[in-house]
Structure 1
Amino acid sequence: MNRKHLRVTAAVGISLALALTGCSTKGDSSSGSGDSGGVKTGPGVTDTTIKVGVITDLTGAAAPLGKPSMQAAKMYIDEVNAAGGVCDRKVELVVRDHGYDVQKAVAAYAEVQPQVAALGQLLGSGQTAALLDSIERDKLLTLVGGNSGSNLGHEYVQVMNTTYDLDMINGVDWLVKTTGLKAGDKVGLINQPGEFGENAAEGARFAAKKAGLELVAQTVKPTATDMTPQVTALAGKKVKAIVFAGTPGQTASLVGVAAASGLKVPVLAQAAAYVPQLLATPAKPALEQMLYITGGLPALSSDLPGVKKLVADYQKKYPKEQLNAGIQVGTTNGAVLIEALKAACAAKDLSREGIAKGLHTIKNFDKGLGGVLDFSDPAKSPNRKSYVLRPAENVPGGLKAVQDATEVPAVAEYEATKG
């Protein structure tokens, strides 16, 4: 079942092909299709390596998440390769920085695609929109750096956690239950156009309708840095809360301007709208008082064993780097692709199609990083539970938990409307 294409936007994340020690049969030494020793191979697979593409942002607007994602994944890959690699092969990354520019991403794909067995990450809304047809044509499993519901239903394009609409449904339900909102109250909705913002807005509209809330909608361009016009419009309507899907810089402006103007209401933002660097801005007091984050990943300050280990390992490897959710995305996505490679190896099929089939055999992925992920049906979100977090100083990742992972009944009702 395919959904209409809206495409992917600012959110972030990175993923990579990693290790498997349980399969020892080697493929041939060519980079094209082949069969050696009973193992089918394809582009990017030789008798010594498996090449994985990463087309991400290391220098542009999403670099604060892209860089730590890359570093966390590289750290994981190094450990895996030291332990023997995947099917007796080392994993080799083919990385390109698109600087969050669509044309650079298209050029990078044309260069990288013939060399790799999968794309561990493709980051960006316009980038995914421009490349989706090519990915499907090339049968190149691609783990996208954004979780829009519009990307569900594609065999070779995989979202990696709760979709934006489900996060908003879970988050708005929490907002209603904990902040005193009642039927008839006005709530502001601010979102960017495009896949990220529109998918989040779709979930917010569904949840608001179910709760009897009146939404006051505003849009914001991805390049906008001053949220004064949107805040002024919402203040004029006397909204009692705001839901938001935009960039971290916009979050700081939104919350800071709202507080300064006297609109001190709860602001519920999608996870991609926050990085801990915001706590170093003048908006810090307002963020700590007003902002809440909804998403499928736990806080890095969580007591989950896998999260605690990841934080410790990353801080040891990169002691000067600030922690954020990018390291969870990179590690989780890399580990998922490991399981896909394990399944492909066991089936003696390391072709592109075999790796994609391997991914869809994974039904209960759980590495202690938060949430159990199910990739068996490309048409469904791999996770339906969302955390609610809030900014906090002097804790890993700059967030602490307000509500553990929760799926509210409205999620099932919403999914039923999607057929």
Structure 2
Amino acid sequence: MGIPRTPVRGVAALAALAALSLTVTACASEKATGGGGEASAPSAVGGDGVKTGPGVTADKITIGLMTDLTGPYASFGKSLTQAQQLYFEQANAAGGVCGRQLEALVRDHGYDAQKAVAAYTEIAPKVVALAHVVGSPMVNALKQRIETDQMLTLPQAWATGLLGSRAIQVTGTTYDIDMINGVDFLTREKGLKSGDRIGHLYFEGDYGESALNGSKYASEKLGLTLVEQKIKATDQDMSAQVAAFKAEGVKAVLVSVGPRQTASLVGVSLAKGMDVPFVGSNSAYSPQLLPTPAGPALLKDFYYMTAGTPISSELPALKKLAADYTAKYPDTAIDSGVPAGYSAAAIVVDALKKACEGKDLTRAAVVAAHRGQSAWGEEFGTIMDFTTFDRPASLLSYVAKPDKAALGGAVVFEEATTSDLAREYRVPVG
């Protein structure tokens, strides 16, 4: 996606995905029309002495969610949206924020930048912040307007091109940092050494290019030869790419594509006798892949790098979230979108609470309150520094591994670490 996390190869797998997409669309359609009241006045001081602006009235704070409920990341978008709605519901039950109740205004862009621009035009006058925007192409299309509007925005995307804006908060690591930490993992745990060849399959565009910056840097520093294979997001069959990697004798493959392409890559590789470890970006994996024909290959020797703690971990906050989400949405599978969405909602609400302390709920004040936090997120397993916006909020990457039996379809294979290479690396901005 410049982002996560969805599904595949084979007729059975495609049929399963079609059914999943229909289910997601049907279930989510009811939730994609929330809110929609009149825009707030540009700026005013309420009876409680709190300065307000767009998205804030005397009794309500409206927060935007610009998601994908009908496109390639529909499953992830549904999880994000429902997790954030759960967080706002719980916050409201606890008294809301600044004496006001929280309301989510949800719009589906279907992973289409033009639709995202139209959705932003509609909801921007009505919201104080955007608790998530799925996809870096959408955020990039809106970046200038977000900055002008001083709209605190949390992308669900991790390309380095999203850094450099005071209003836009990329959570956790960026794709290049994850790939640097991933190459380090391969050298420590999978025997990769100087002189070896390593493949990298990546999408054209900011997601793939960001990840490639990391793999190039790490390969050069460690004396590895990088074999690149760039594809379009519309490419489905990875047979040609597997043949190219096999011909070059790669000892491992980095994967910065969508889950559908990941499934084809690992499935074809194993079928063709290329039995090597694979390390993916966080957007390359979805638990919906496990019941498909690609499942056995993914379970064998596939890993992915992520700043977000898998929800199967023993962290009390994540165990409680899993229980609460299951109680609220008993018929919905849990994936990485649940902790990602819930924690992003918490980031926005914490900024609102801090802004309330200064009796100023204007957008600029919310952004300033957010940027005052230097160590946020311990309860969710990833401590982030929000005080600067020209570098990632964290350099720590977990190594996660698919697991059929685990909640969310993955377990922590290696606890979050930062490689020496990642500390030395200078992330390109903007």
Aligned position for 2:10 = none
Asked if 1:394 corresponds to 2:405, the answer is yes
For residue 9 of structure 1, the aligned residue among 2, 8, 21 is: 2
Asked if 1:189 corresponds to 2:203, the answer is no
8 Å CA contact retained: 1:39, 1:349: yes
Asked if 1:224 corresponds to 2:232, the answer is no
Amino acid paired to 2:41: S
**Percent sequence identity over aligned pairs:** 43
1:287 shift after superposition: 0.7
Secondary structure of residue in 1 paired with 2:425: helix
Asked if 1:384 corresponds to 2:391, the answer is no
Distance 1:35 1:416 in 2: 41
For residue 153 of structure 1, the aligned residue among 154, 164, 173 is: 164
8 Å CA contact retained: 2:254, 2:279: yes
Distance 1:105 1:30 in 2: 22
1:30 shift after superposition: 4.7
Amino acid paired to 2:4: A
Distance 1:230 1:10 in 2: 21
Secondary structure of residue in 2 paired with 1:415: coil
Asked if 1:88 corresponds to 2:99, the answer is yes
Deviations 1:11-47 (A, max 9, x none): 369xxxxxxxxxxxxxxx9532112343221111100
1:182 shift after superposition: 0.9
Distance 1:368 1:138 in 2: 31
Distance 2:180 2:58 in 1: 47
For residue 329 of structure 1, the aligned residue among 340, 353, 366 is: 340
Aligned position for 2:352 = 341
Asked if 1:266 corresponds to 2:259, the answer is no
Aligned position for 1:302 = 313
Distance 1:341 1:100 in 2: 28
1:416 shift after superposition: 7.6
8 Å CA contact retained: 1:12, 1:123: no
For residue 212 of structure 1, the aligned residue among 198, 208, 223 is: 223
For residue 83 of structure 2, the aligned residue among 63, 72, 88 is: 72
Q: 1:47 to 1:235 in 2, by over 3 A?
A: same
Deviations 1:136-177 (A, max 9, x none): 122211111112222112011110111111111111101111
Distance 2:60 2:310 in 1: 35
Which runs of 5 or more structure 2 residues have no equivalent in the other structure? Answer: 7-38
Aligned position for 2:33 = none
1:380 shift after superposition: 2.0
For residue 125 of structure 2, the aligned residue among 102, 105, 114 is: 114
Distance 2:427 2:285 in 1: 30
Aligned position for 1:280 = 291
Aligned position for 2:27 = none
Deviations 1:174-200 (A, max 9, x none): 111111111010000111011111111
Distance 1:30 1:400 in 2: 44
Distance 1:141 1:204 in 2: 31
Distance 1:283 1:156 in 2: 40
Which runs of 5 or more structure 1 residues have no equivalent in the other structure? Answer: 1-7, 14-28
Aligned position for 1:133 = 144
Secondary structure of residue in 2 paired with 1:100: coil
Asked if 1:38 corresponds to 2:31, the answer is no
For residue 318 of structure 1, the aligned residue among 290, 313, 329 is: 329
Distance 2:63 2:376 in 1: 21
Q: 1:87 to 1:283 in 2, by over 3 A?
A: same
1:311 shift after superposition: 1.2
Amino acid paired to 1:81: N
TM-score after normalising by structure 1: 0.92
Q: 1:30 to 1:128 in 2, by over 3 A?
A: closer
8 Å CA contact retained: 1:32, 1:44: no
Q: 1:96 to 1:416 in 2, by over 3 A?
A: closer
Secondary structure of residue in 1 paired with 2:426: helix
For residue 234 of structure 1, the aligned residue among 245, 262, 278 is: 245
* Residues 250-261 of structure 1 aligned to structure 2 (within 5 Å): 250-261=261-272
8 Å CA contact retained: 1:155, 1:378: yes
Deviations 1:275-297 (A, max 9, x none): 11110111111111121111101
Secondary structure of residue in 1 paired with 2:195: coil
Question: How large is the RMSD of aligned CA atoms in angstroms?
Answer: 1.7
Distance 1:186 1:413 in 2: 23
Distance 1:412 1:287 in 2: 30
Distance 2:5 2:190 in 1: 29
Asked if 1:363 corresponds to 2:356, the answer is no
8 Å CA contact retained: 2:109, 2:115: yes
Amino acid paired to 1:48: D
8 Å CA contact retained: 2:136, 2:158: no
Asked if 1:47 corresponds to 2:58, the answer is yes
Q: 1:30 to 1:97 in 2, by over 3 A?
A: closer
Q: Aligned pairs, how many?
A: 397
8 Å CA contact retained: 2:402, 2:410: yes
Amino acid paired to 1:10: I
Secondary structure of residue in 1 paired with 2:266: helix
Amino acid paired to 2:74: A
1:62 shift after superposition: 0.6
Q: 1:346 to 1:12 in 2, by over 3 A?
A: farther
TM-score after normalising by structure 2: 0.89
Q: 1:354 to 1:138 in 2, by over 3 A?
A: same
